[in-house]
Amino acid sequence: MTTFLTISVGLLTAVLGAAVGAWLTNKYNNPKQELKYAWVKNVSLLNASGDGPTALTVAHGGNTLTHPRIVDIRLRNQGTKPITQASFHADMPIQVDLDAAIIDVLSVKSVPSTAIAPRYYLTEGQLMIEPSLLKPNQTVVFSMLVDGAADNLKFQSPLADVDVVEEQTYGYEDVIRSYRRTHARMKNCVCVPRSARLDNVCAASGCFQDLAG
């Protein structure tokens, strides 16, 4: 009986060892690929708060922009393997849509500086990032002139076998945009007076509003 148990334990250990070894080998030979993108800047060129008149005007190509903004989008290859042109399905580009017209790309910065920035073009107010090489840990920042609120980032990726993850970054402009979206939703709220509930929850939508003025 003891001999049988010893053989069984030995076989189980050998099987587990082989399975773990195979998993580690596969993980080493096929490391996870991950592309992260983030919205790192969205700043109005006319008025930081977006309210009140201003004498400043911004024009591009002879056309006056009504809501000019500077928007920066960051891409980062977080994996340990390069993302190559072959990773782009059917040679399709990455599409960046801000729900506003992208007027021009002001600059493209790549870190490290030895890594070539990806090729790109603009079409119908969207940024198209062409199939390009992104080295491990390479970071690319596109700085763009935009006309519009640009409060919604849509990132469409044709990358095969690459996890695409949005990084959350928050700044003053993000807080302002969040407040405006909440305020817009509250316009049709039916609110409960402060005397009824301390937090003044709007019965219609669950928004919060201070009725004390």
Instruction: Tell me: cis bond preceding 112? Omega within 30 of 0 counts.
Output: yes
CB 200 within 8 A of CB 208: yes
Q: How far is 89 from 92, CA to CA, in rounded Å?
A: 6
HSE toward the beta carbon, residue 175, CA cutoff 13 A: 4
Distances 47 to 58, 61, 150 between C-alpha atoms, Å: 12, 22, 15
Residue 14 backbone phi and psi in degrees, to 5 = -65, -40
pLDDT of residue 72: 96
* Average confidence score pLDDT of the chain: 77
65-102 residue pLDDT tens: 999 999 999 999 999 999 999 999 999 999 999 999 99
* Low-confidence residues of the chain: pLDDT under 70: 1-31, 47-55, 170-213
d(CA 85, CA 133): 6
DSSP string over 22-34: HHHHHHHHS---E
